[in-house]
Amino acid sequence: DAGVTQSPTHLIKTRGQQVTLRCSPKSGHDTVSWYQQALGQGPQFIFQYYEEEERQRGNFPDRFSGHQFPNYSSELNVNALLLGDSALYLCASTLGAGGPYEQYFGPGTRLTVT
């Protein structure tokens, strides 16, 4: 049973560019959340997708957007990249009706903005 998978593993971008990160949830899960983890910090909630719609959003600017596909996979898009966007981006999946503790995290995508 595959867990949460994310691609790519690493990414280097230049300031001002745009980036798309991808996530496939654990088998049977229908809800995907995205988190940003800066070096030495805990993950910060970006947003959550359920039934192809954004259900909750954290305190992130509109440069951060997402999408969920009918197969429950998800993308995170970041426009006009800033140096401060350099971080580990984590995807977590769960069942929409499940408990908050049932969130399974992927290995993350490490984004470096130069």
Partner 1 sequence: QKEVEQDPGPLSVPEGAIVSLNCTYSNSAFQYFMWYRQYSRKGPELLMYTYSSGNKEDGRFTAQVDKSSKYISLFIRDSQPSDSATYLCAMTDFLYNQGGKLIFGQGTELSVKP
Positions that interact with partner 1 (CB under 8 A):
4, 31, 33, 35, 40-45, 48, 50, 55-56, 58, 90, 92, 94, 96-97, 99-101, 103-108, 110
Instruction: Identify which of 52, 7, 8, 57 has the alpha carbon closest to the alpha carbon of residue 30.
Output: 52
Q: Give me the amino acid identity at 96.
A: G
Name which of 43 and 66 has its Cβ closer to partner 1: 43
Name which of 50 and 78 has its Cβ closer to partner 1: 50
Name which of 44 and 65 has its Cβ closer to partner 1: 44
- Tokens of residue 91, six digits: 């995807």
Q: Cα separation of 113 and 55, whole Å?
A: 28
